[in-house]
Amino acid sequence: MNDTVKYVLEESRMPKAWYNLQADLPTPLPPVLHPGTHQPVGPDDLAPLFPMELILQEVSTEREIDIPEPVRDVYRQWRPAPLYRARRLEKLLQTPARIYYKYEGVSPAGSHKPNTAVPQAFYNQQAGVKKLVTETGAGQWGSSLAFAGALFGIDVQVFMVRVSYDQKPYRRALMETYGARCIASPSTETQSGRGILAQRPDHPGSLGIAISEAVEVAAGRDDTKYALGSVLNHVLLHQTVIGQEALLQLEMADDYPDVIVGCTGGGSNFAGIAFPFIGAQLRGGRKVDVIAVEPAACPSLTRGPYAYDFGDTAHLTPLTKMHTLGSTFTPPGFHAGGLRYHGMAPMVSHLKELGLITAVAHHQTKCFDAGVMFARAEGILPAPEANHAVKGAIDEAIRCREEGTSRAILFNLCGHGHFDMQAYIDYFGGKLQDLEYDEGELAMALAGLPSVGAPA
Amino acid sequence: MNDTVKYVLEESRMPKAWYNLQADLPTPLPPVLHPGTHQPVGPDDLAPLFPMELILQEVSTEREIDIPEPVRDVYRQWRPAPLYRARRLEKLLQTPARIYYKYEGVSPAGSHKPNTAVPQAFYNQQAGVKKLVTETGAGQWGSSLAFAGALFGIDVQVFMVRVSYDQKPYRRALMETYGARCIASPSTETQSGRGILAQRPDHPGSLGIAISEAVEVAAGRDDTKYALGSVLNHVLLHQTVIGQEALLQLEMADDYPDVIVGCTGGGSNFAGIAFPFIGAQLRGGRKVDVIAVEPAACPSLTRGPYAYDFGDTAHLTPLTKMHTLGSTFTPPGFHAGGLRYHGMAPMVSHLKELGLITAVAHHQTKCFDAGVMFARAEGILPAPEANHAVKGAIDEAIRCREEGTSRAILFNLCGHGHFDMQAYIDYFGGKLQDLEYDEGELAMALAGLPSVGAPA
């Protein structure tokens, strides 16, 4: 029997529509509220930030939303992405489990992020937008939007969390090679940034602050819009190509997942792999255990209350109901920078409330143990974020061994770690530590949650 | 018309045999000579360094050599590799040329090198070898052998040229993540290394020195063999999967290349894309212009004489006839570390003598100009080595525009540049310079070429 089992989907079977889980939810999402009035926002409230097509996707309850042909054309460069059976890892673990992984590191930017960067750039171009402004943590998202901007002729400006800006010059260089401008955040270019710097000139930055800066720049100019790499419904929607492809590929394998595992920061790669399967279950299909794996140092799903909160630190965004650690919470500097966000996608948070998913939190050293084991068995070196999913999948496979059950485990390998080698150097050098967040800071951030009455 | 045109070969059409150009050469290769006796070497002379299967491949004149199923099994992880039509680049250049590129950056190590690392690890495992020792420059080869070693359960030890070892800690970390041991060369672990360090303790190293160290370690132990990432016939042979796949993919496109472009350091990726087409021409097929693009700072094909020389600095290897700058020549430290070798594959050198290929040399800034243009148009960021091929292809496309002819240009994009971002940082920072080799040093290295009579 072969050790490499790859399921390649023909290009003609690449999804023609994104799958919208909002169509199948048993109860709808709580409304998004205006930060001032606490009344539900309408499309016009969001128009300064996003083109109308994306706003309509944000609130749509249509089950299928057509993927425009120019977007599919770019997807085609690396999609359909391969699905693998991890047979060498199974042997190593001596597990009766069948482990499958969808590999999104084949995109030019090395992660799943172009799945949404491309349609966002496309819809903005169609709307006549000349410039997109965004934030990035570790840089996966910023480099993906830079890539998409280059293809659609849109200027891209990225506020990069300062600590990452300093630590990851290579991600920055990738953005600049694609022609984007990359600025350390907090910066002196915005009121939000200057405010933070006035209080603390050496502030290391956070995603919440970088979002504030990007939103401020975008809101101030007609030809400029904002783009977000996770959290929002339309972003999660675009990622569903991952799970839709996996569904077809597992059909080729004559299999169906008993368990789906994804890592969660803002929630988009997790949603991408899981939503099509959760939707099938909600429409009467097979039940699947869906597990979100988050960093123990930023545990929004396992520790944060389900509450209305801001998406950013300066409180420029609308209020959304989500699992949150509070918009002023600054997580410690662990290596999975893409998972360092105080909140969780409203859709993912809602699913947790409905009992349709579960969540676990892991510290980073155990995740790197899992990632190195995976790299040596399967040959692909995962990003630190993806190591959380690997850890979750390996734990399930070991459970199968202990229980003597053969379950099918599907996980999302959302990106390669070629830009994250410092983390591996630290790991092998014994310098990687399990970081704890400050309990006092969390309590303060949670105490600062906006007081919002029952939604209308 | 779509901008992304990708030719995906079905897995069932992945080559089942490597193509051996030696079967179709109009005149055979000059023999390899023993360094002491200057007599042709036999298989037994090479047995301390390589397993017999690889030695037989080195001298075989069979046209097709079966790829063992365990090797095809690993190839399947990323092969067949995609062939793209570079339509966005064509538009940008306003050229009537049809530009195709084969993308080898999809392998887990990010380059074409696993195409030979995998069979080398396999044949050594079959021969009971426990440990492989090799050299690496920029690290593409070392990380590829580390990857293959992990899959086949063979220990891998890599002598990495010191200047790269210091400059590229991330490549080193990739090797270590795969479980390999990586040592800066010259090292104190070998007689060759200690000899060099005694003369110059801060020696920056060279591929020739690293080869000496690896050969010395391998020759000294029965369970240990040596592995080379380029130059040798069997290495070039393994790379022919690239061109064989491209041939089938161009059939799908209903096209055939008028021009083939590849970058040349040791010659393996160039051979991989070009040999199957050259072979077809030699068997009566269509004529194709084949262009080798080499760095102007290490111009073995365009500047080096065709002469017998050593493959390494300490003169432990046999003598092969090749274009060479002399085994003691140390090229300046330009960024395409994979192209910094004093010699050129005997097969590629022979083709140049036969007039079957031509060669051009370019300085690195022009190559980076081309690479950045390519990245912004096509979305893929090439390795510095691959930028040489991009430059060659763009020059041909511009010539087509000027001449008003529509030719089909095929080039090999042999790897991505995600581990080479410092080079791009230097480029954008204006710090990338066109380096010149030292004419005096070249003259001295050439004066030191061994004096070999006409071969038997």
B216: tokens are 């010395």
Establish if A103 touches chain B: CB-CB under 8 angstroms: no
What whole-number distance in Å separates Cα of residue B266 and Cα of residue B337? 11
Establish if B3 touches chain A: CB-CB under 8 angstroms: yes
Q: Is the pLDDT of residue B453 over 70?
A: no
Q: Which chain A residue has its CA at the smallest distance from B149's CA?
A: A376
Give me the mean pLDDT over the A414-432 stretch.
94
DSSP string of A274-293, one letter each residue: HHHHHHHHHTT----EEEEE
- According to the model, what pLDDT value does residue A455 have? 47
- According to the model, what pLDDT value does residue B330 have? 85
Residues of chain A contacting B11 with CB distance shorter than 8 Å: 6, 8
- Please answer whether residues A338 and A140 qualify as being in contact, where contact means their C-beta atoms are separated by less than 8 angstroms: yes
- According to the model, what pLDDT value does residue B350 have? 98
| Rg (chain B; Cα; Å) | 20
Establish if A151 touches chain B: CB-CB under 8 angstroms: yes
Establish if B108 touches chain A: CB-CB under 8 angstroms: yes
Establish if B308 touches chain A: CB-CB under 8 angstroms: no
- In A41-151, the DSSP E strands lie at 64-66, 83-86, 98-103, 131-136
The helix or strand, by DSSP H or E, that contains position A353, with its residue range, turns out to be helix A346-353
Mutate to test the interface with A, among B106, B113, B378, B421 (most CBs of A within 10 A): B421
Give me the mean pLDDT over the B250-267 stretch.
97
Establish if A375 touches chain B: CB-CB under 8 angstroms: yes
- According to the model, what pLDDT value does residue A270 have? 98
DSSP string of B107-161, one letter each residue: STTSBSTHHHHHHHHHHHHHTT--EEEEEESSSHHHHHHHHHHHHHT-EEEEEEE
- According to the model, what pLDDT value does residue B1 have? 60
Q: Is the pLDDT of residue B41 over 90?
A: yes
Q: What is the least distance, in Å, from the CA of B219 to any CA of chain A?
A: 27
Average pLDDT, chain B: 95
Following CA atoms B57, B62, B64, B69 in sequence, which dihedral angle do they give, to the nearest 10 degrees? -40
CA distances from B252 to B102, B248, B360 (A): 14, 6, 30
Establish if B431 touches chain A: CB-CB under 8 angstroms: no
Q: Do B421 and A173 touch (CB under 8 A)?
A: yes
Q: What is the least distance, in Å, from the CA of B220 to any CA of chain A?
A: 28
- Quick: pLDDT tens for B175-234: 999 999 999 999 999 999 999 999 999 998 988 899 999 999 999 899 999 999 999 999
* A317 exposure class (CB count in 10 Å sphere: 0-12, 13-18, 19+): buried
Q: What is the least distance, in Å, from the CA of A5 to any CA of chain B?
A: 8
Q: Do A6 and B76 touch (CB under 8 A)?
A: yes
Q: Do B150 and A73 touch (CB under 8 A)?
A: no
- Quick: pLDDT tens for B122-181: 999 999 999 999 999 889 999 999 999 999 999 999 999 998 899 889 999 999 999 999
Q: What is the least distance, in Å, from the CA of A8 to any CA of chain B?
A: 8
Q: Do A177 and B88 touch (CB under 8 A)?
A: no
Establish if B422 touches chain A: CB-CB under 8 angstroms: yes
Give me the mean pLDDT over the B239-267 stretch.
98
Q: Do A381 and B108 touch (CB under 8 A)?
A: yes
Task: Name the pLDDT band for A454 (thresholds 50, 70, 90).
Answer: low
- Please answer whether residues B204 and B163 qualify as being in contact, where contact means their C-beta atoms are separated by less than 8 angstroms: yes
What whole-number distance in Å separates Cα of residue B437 and Cα of residue A121? 45
Establish if B13 touches chain A: CB-CB under 8 angstroms: no
Topology of the domain comprising A4-14+67-110+234-447: Rossmann fold (3.40.50)
Q: Do B150 and A88 touch (CB under 8 A)?
A: no
Average pLDDT, chain A: 95
Task: Name the pLDDT band for B455 (thresholds 50, 70, 90).
Answer: very low
Q: Do B424 and A176 touch (CB under 8 A)?
A: yes
DSSP string of B348-406, one letter each residue: HHHHHHTTS-EEEEE-HHHHHHHHHHHHHHHS--B-HHHHHHHHHHHHHHHHHHHHT--
Q: Residue B18's beta-bridge partner residues? A: B65
Establish if A176 touches chain B: CB-CB under 8 angstroms: yes
- In A83-124, the DSSP E strands lie at 83-86, 98-103
Task: Name the pLDDT band for A333 (thresholds 50, 70, 90).
Answer: confident
B13: tokens are 């059409």
Q: Do A169 and B375 touch (CB under 8 A)?
A: no
- Please answer whether residues A24 and A283 qualify as being in contact, where contact means their C-beta atoms are separated by less than 8 angstroms: yes
Q: Is the pLDDT of residue A67 over 80?
A: yes
ipTM: 0.95
What whole-number distance in Å separates Cα of residue B344 and Cα of residue B304? 9
| SS3 (DSSP) at B35 | coil
Q: Do A375 and B84 touch (CB under 8 A)?
A: no
* B351 exposure class (CB count in 10 Å sphere: 0-12, 13-18, 19+): buried
Give the closest of A178, A418, A424 to B110, CB-based. Answer: A418
Q: What is the least distance, in Å, from the CA of B108 to any CA of chain A?
A: 5
For chain B, domain boundaries: 4-14+67-110+234-447
